[in-house]
Amino acid sequence: MQANALDRYQTGESLIHHLDPRVKVVVTVLFILSNVLLPDGAWLAFALAWGLILLTSGLADLGLAYALKRSFVALPFALAAVTVVFNLPGEPLFAWKLGPWHLVATDTGVIRFASIVIRTWLSVQMAILLTATTRFPDLMHALQHLRVPQLLVAIISFMYRYLFVITDEAMRLMRAREARSARSASGAGGGSVAWGARVTGNMVGQLFLRSYERSDRVYNAMLARGYNGQFLTINPHVMSASDWTIGAGAVAILVLLQAVGRMAVL
C-alpha cells in the first residue's frame, strides 16, 4: 500500500508532537480565523504570525523551511482573487486595456489582494504543521472530543483510509494496461487517441465498480463486528497541565496579534 504517497505525518518526539491533538486543532482553527479577521495591510501582524509558524516548526524539529516549501502549492488558488485589484475604489496605480474592458488597478485593490494571498499562505502553512505533527487517528479522535458531528468524522476517516486502497487499485489497473499494450522500439504506446480515451474510460468505470463493491463488503464486515458509528481508541487523550498552559499561551498570542494588526493600520 502506497501510504507514504498521501500521509504527511513526520515521526518525532518534540513538544509539539506530544501536545494533545485537541489543543493543536483548536489553535490551528483560531490561527486561521485570526488571519481572516486581521485588517488589510496589517503587515506587522502578518510578519508576527509567520514568526509564530517558524517558531512552531522549530519546536517540532521539522526545520524552519518545512512548511514554507510545501505551502507554495496553494498560492495559485489564492491568485483567483486578483480581480479585487481592479474592483475596489481607490487611488489609480496603472491601467490596462483588455479588449472592450478598461481595467484600472487601485492601491486599495492591491493591498486587499496582497493581504488575501498572505492570509492564504500563512493558513496553509499552519495546516501543514498540524498534519505533520499529528497522526491521522489522533486528529479524528480530537474532532470527536471537540463535538464535530460523528457522521462527518466517519466520512473523513473512511475517505482518508480508502484513498490508499483506491490508489493501489488504480496502480494495478495501470500496470495491467501497460502489460497488455503493444509498444514500438521507441517506447511509444500503440493505439490511437480514441483508443486511449476508451481504455481510460473503461479503467475509470472498473475503478468505480470495484470501489462500490468494496464499500459494501467493508460496511457489512463492520456491522458484523459490532460497529455502531463510533471509532474507539486506546489513547485516552487526557489534557495535562502543560497542554492547558500551551493552549492558553497560544490563544493569548493570537489575541495580541489582533491588537497589533488593528493598531498598525490606525
Shortest CA distance to 172 belongs to which of 201, 207, 129? 207
More confident residue, 101 or 58: 58
pLDDT of residue 190: 56
Mean pLDDT for all residues in the chain:
83
**Cell numbers 493501489 label which residue?**
168
152-180: average pLDDT: 82
Q: pLDDT band for 184, please (50, 70, 90 cuts).
A: very low
Q: pLDDT band for 30, please (50, 70, 90 cuts).
A: very high
pLDDT of residue 104: 78
Alpha-carbon 168 to chain mean position: 22
pLDDT of residue 206: 83
Its pTM surpasses 0.85: no
pLDDT digits (tens, 9 = 90+) for 106-135: 888 888 888 988 999 999 999 999 999 998
More confident residue, 85 or 38: 38
**Main-chain phi, psi angles of 41, to 5 degrees:** 80, 15
Label each residue of the chain as H, E or C: CCHHHCCCCCCCCCHHHHCCHHHHHHHHHHHHHHHHHCCCCCHHHHHHHHHHHHHHHHHCCCCCCHHHHHHHHHHHHHHHHHHHHHHCCCCEEEEEEECCEEEEEEHHHHHHHHHHHHHHHHHHHHHHHHHHHCCHHHHHHHHHHCCCCHHHHHHHHHHHHHHHHHHHHHHHHHHHHHHHCCECCCCCECCCHHHHHHHHHHHHHHHHHHHHHHHHHHHHHHHHCCCCCCCCCCCCCCCCHHHHHHHHHHHHHHHHHHHHHHHHCC
37-62: average pLDDT: 91
pLDDT at 46 over 80: yes
* Separation between Cα atoms, residue 263 and residue 104, nearest integer Å: 30
pLDDT of residue 5: 55
pLDDT of residue 51: 92
pLDDT of residue 7: 66
pLDDT at 181 over 60: yes
Q: pLDDT band for 179, please (50, 70, 90 cuts).
A: confident
43-65: average pLDDT: 90
pLDDT of residue 188: 54
